[in-house]
Chains A and B, each alone.
Chain A
Amino acid sequence: MKKFNDSYRGPGLAMPRRTLLKGGAIAGLAGIVGAPFINRLHAKEAHPLAGKKIDMNILGIAGWLPSSLGVKMSPIFADYVKERFGYEVSFGFAEAPFSDLFQKAATSLATKSQEYNIIISDSQWLGALAKPGWILKLNDVIAKNKELQIDWYSNTITEAYQVYPDGSKDLWGLPQEGDTIALFVRKDMLADPKEQQAFQAKYNAKLPQTFEDFENLTMTEFEKVAEFFTRPDKQLWGTAMQYSRVYDFCTCYLYPFMWSQGGEVWDPKTGQVEGILNSATNAKAMEQAKGWLKYQPPGALNYGIAEEIDVFTQGKVFSCFQWAAVGLAMITPQNKDKVMVVPPPKHGTGAAAKRIYTVGGQPWVINAFNDEAKMRVALDFMKWWYLPETTLEFAKRGGNPCDKATLSNPNFDKINPWGRAYKYMLEPGRSRDFWHDPKYSEMLALQQEGFTSYMTGQTASATQALDYIACGQQQILHDEGVAKTAPSGKCSSVSL
């Protein structure tokens, strides 16, 4: 027995089996319970900013809900990094309206300032911010950080919010908010049996009722609906679009008429505008867009985003072509049971009918002049922004995430009334962006002048307005060295 016992214990290891098992179990349990803390402790120690306090500044768009959401959610990020990485971060915010934000950002970045560490840029500014080297190129950053290698919902996201030059693989932005044009309609009016009967009697057709009905609707068919609800004597009009000269308002609403009917605005490979923008197709599209004014309130020529929200929420229009991003402002407690958000109609007829609308939304861009600490916080912020719980929280607060995982969630359509239409319009080929060229701002200002000149009747012919814009843009791109050909001789006699 003694011999047996001695041989079992071995030299110097006198521990009974039960004690050994108990000890193992306790150690295992302690390991399981303590693992997160050990991990956190490890993380805190590993992060180079642990124990530090960093002040960051975000520049965003004034009066723009998705931009303010990015800002309002930043305290969640502050809690997250404090707990996870052990450093403190506080955010300061600056903002300017769409039309002035680029100016505010550019004048600061041109002095190599890190006044704004993270900027909510508009998608078209990528070129203007990237070419002078003001913002951080993200290819390497994304390659090194798995958290930023995200499966986006469609190519539209990458093309609109990330890439400059168009068609290249250079990435400069990460989507802050996706956005598309949607059609907000008064479903209570559509559901009214008297209206249905009257419409049937007048047009021998049924009023569209469901999302699917609108999915199949063409502009020609929708024109009847808009005409039907245009009753100026009752201060009611059929629809509202944007024709304002401010920023890109008129442009974003005119392009769908052009693109959906086969028109193009330029050739990004050669920088050619003349002969492409001023085509017969585009002239016809402009005439159509102008024709829609008769179904809109008298002040429609001045409508931008805010004016559309006003007329729709005040019940002056039956429908409104509006950015999905402002869904929260369009759908108020008073009208929430009366509104349906659907895809905007197709252009053309039959199988050839298409809908290609302008994409909205904004990317995050990171100031290239950030010091090491601020750059690190900016990257932590980006990684946090695309965590599943953050994107879901963003959606619940009224934002439009862009990642496939969130948008493919079966519950996504139910989070916001416009979610389904937004997702539908993000499908490949249904929405697109325009020029990410550094000369974007100059081209846009000229174009807005030409488009609104025609819309307001200062220029009588759409062709004349398009010629003016095409010649001007060709000159701008030629001076920039992007366009190979100079404006033609015809351009010397073109004016508004």
Chain B
Amino acid sequence: MSSMHAGSIGRKPGIAGMFDYRTRLTISLLAPVLLFFIVFNTIPTLWLLGLSFYNYSLTSGMPPEFIGFRNFVQIFNNRNGIWFDLSRTFLFVGLGVTIQTSLGLLLGFLFWGSKAMPGRRIALTMLFTPMVLTPVATGTFFRFIYDPDFGVLNSILHGLFGMQPIAFLTNPATAYWSVLAVDCWMWTPFMTLMTLAALGSVPKAELEAAEVDRIPWHKRLTLVVWHHGKFILMLGVLLRTIDSFKTLDLIIPMTKGGPGQATRLVAMELNKQAFESFNIGWSSAYSVLLLLVSIAMTSVFIYILNLRRRRRA
């Protein structure tokens, strides 16, 4: 009784009195972020989820009509060919991220192992330039570079090999790969950066110890470098995977999803349905499904990252 009484002495009345200083500080620091998150993320996501059950077109002049799961059923029944879009997108993500990671690792190790190389900083700055360009600008540049009439690439090919102009972006056989090549050009530097960050996180002492112990390089790589750098590297892969899955602004200026449907990825169709056709209900349902796919992919990555820890436990 007396301890309860003593505990309540000096405490402010009301809600403020329920928390100590540390808790109040934590809450006051978190509150703006949480509020921002709720207003700009949670509420729109819930709104999106709600709209996905409605038939609602912005240009119809009609109020939204509740239709239950009909939008989702239409998507599963391949309306607008979205399964083809998904398969094209998965291929784009798989190939793109694999190429970018491989090249990024190669370049990362190259720069990591050549710290005394003259002009290293300039080379690194130039290497990172594509990454800081906006995708729309990059797409527009490459549309001109690929152009069969004016493009510099065809001029070079003609000059060097006497080749006839290639319609890179209007030929269904080459368009997809041409866009993928630009995506790799743009984002390989990001994976190089992540590789350098991952390698920078490896303690020098452990590397030196491994060298003194004459551990073979491949074992050093797996036991020391990978052990310390894997999280940052996998984070890079995860970010690229999610980003690549959403690729839109690069494709719009290059091909607009064409020729035909050759470069139509999921984000292209979503953009078309939502912001060209204004099918708000259908595109909300599509967004919800794509969000679930993104969450699933993220979960897989996190699961892989935590696999060893789980095994140890």
Q: Which residues from chain A sit less than 8 Å from chain B, CB to CB?
A: 102-103, 106, 110, 128, 131-133, 245-246, 297-299, 301-302, 307, 310-311, 316, 438-439, 441-442, 445, 449-450, 452-459, 480, 495-496
Contact = CB atoms under 8 A, between A and B. Distances in A.
A480 B60 CA distance: 8
A297 B260 contact: no
A441 B283 CA distance: 15
A128 B59 contact: yes
Listed residue (A133, A307, A456, A496) with the most chain B CB atoms within 10 angstroms of its CB: A456
B149 A245 contact: no
20 contacts: A102-B276, A110-B58, A131-B60, A132-B59, A246-B256, A299-B148, A301-B259, A302-B167, A307-B149, A310-B150, A439-B57, A439-B59, A441-B59, A441-B278, A452-B258, A453-B259, A453-B260, A456-B171, A456-B259, A458-B172
Contacts of A450: 260
Contacts, number: 106
A456 B58 contact: no
Interface string B270-285: 0011011111000000
A404 to B, nearest CB: 33
Given A297-B148, A441-B277, A442-B276, A457 B171 contact: yes
A299 B260 contact: no
Listed residue (B150, B170, B261) with the most chain A CB atoms within 10 angstroms of its CB: B170
Given A131-B59, A133-B61, A452-B258, A457 B81 contact: no
A400 B148 CA distance: 33
Contact of A301 (B61, B170, B277): B170
Contact of B172 (A131, A298, A456): A456
B165 A449 contact: no
Interface string B123-156: 0000000000000000000010001111100000
Interface of B is mostly: loop
B198 interface: no
Interface of B: 57-61, 81, 143, 147-151, 164-165, 167, 169-172, 255-262, 264, 272-273, 275-279
A298 B149 contact: yes
Given A302-B147, A439-B59, A456-B258, A495 B81 contact: yes
Interface of A is mostly: helix
The 6 A-B pairs with the shortest beta carbon distances in the complex, nearest first, are A453-B260, A456-B259, A458-B260, A442-B277, A301-B170, A298-B148
Given A131-B61, A132-B61, A299 B278 contact: no
Contact of B258 (A106, A132, A316, A453): A453
A327 to B, nearest CB: 22
B174 to A, nearest CB: 11
B256 A245 contact: yes
Given A302-B147, A459-B260, A445 B277 contact: yes
Nearest to B77: A492
A62 B38 CA distance: 37
Contacts of A438: 57, 59-61
A396 to B, nearest CB: 33
B4 to A, nearest CB: 56
A209 to B, nearest CB: 29
A445 B262 CA distance: 15
Contacts of B171: 456-457
A255 B20 CA distance: 75
A51 B159 CA distance: 68
B257 A245 contact: yes
Given A128-B59, A302-B170, A449 B257 contact: yes
Contact of B259 (A133, A310, A452): A452
B149 A299 contact: yes
B261 A453 contact: yes
Contacts of A316: 149
Given A131-B60, A457-B172, A103 B167 contact: no
Listed residue (B149, B169, B261, B276) with the most chain A CB atoms within 10 angstroms of its CB: B149
B276 A441 contact: yes
A458 B58 contact: no
Contact of A299 (B60, B147, B256, B275): B147
A456 B276 contact: no
A166 to B, nearest CB: 16
Given A106-B59, A495-B81, 10 more contacts: A131-B59, A299-B151, A299-B167, A311-B149, A441-B276, A456-B170, A456-B258, A458-B172, A458-B261, A458-B262
